[in-house]
Amino acid sequence: MTRPASLKAAIYEQIARIGQATASPSRLELLDLLSQGARTVEALAHQTGQSVATTSHHLQVLRRARLVEGQKAGLYVTYRLADPHVGDFFLSLRSLAESRLAEVQQVTRQYLEQRGALEAVGSDELVRRVRAGEVTLIDVRPREEYGAAHIPGAISVPLAELSTRAGELPRRRDIVAYCRGPYCVMALDAVDLLRRKGFRAHRLEHGVPEWRAQGWRVETGAGRHAGGRP
């Protein structure tokens, strides 16, 4: 018969596998990216600035802990979160760090102060203004992330296209840009660009995972594009 102490030790050992797998900034970044949607190893390597071999190694660690799943199609392997609970876990871990580690807030505030971007539109206010037709909400992430999931009412204008397509946006409404969440700089870059072009632009801190975590609906598919593009 298994002794209670042995049982607890065995269970804690298994739980510790999650902690060991996520005890790496690089692997946390991969979980954050995969929260936006499935990606190939090559795409993840490009977005994190790591080699394909290093990225693959980190993904294997996460896979052994049952946090991600991979599917091979031809020469490429596409990874995704193994379960929605993994995304919830990442957000909870980040929230815990934000509440217990003052350094997180200090680093964030210092960076945003340097960018002159401390203000952000609150999610509740955004919902009210979008439903009232008072703002134009743009998703500046890559198009495939928008297709995987986006905030209802958002228009897809990837950051790489924003400079040439800004003329498609209405000038009489405030523009609210969002990307991958509070630590993603794409929305900051979008706001800077739009303000230089004379738009009233603001940043939404929430991304799709944060939006979904509030219990709010998200949409999938190609959706809307600026200028009426399909």
184 tagged catalytic = no
Pairing of strands 76-81, 39-40: antiparallel
Q: Residue 147 half-sphere exposure, CB side, CA atoms within 13 Å?
A: 7
Contact 186, 146 (CB under 8 A): no
* Distance separating the N- and C-terminal Cα atoms of the chain: 64
Contact 135, 218 (CB under 8 A): no
Tokens for 216? 């709010």
Rounded CA-CA distance 97/182 in Å is 14
Catalytic residue among 179, 190, 204, 208: 179
Q: Which residues are catalytic?
A: 179
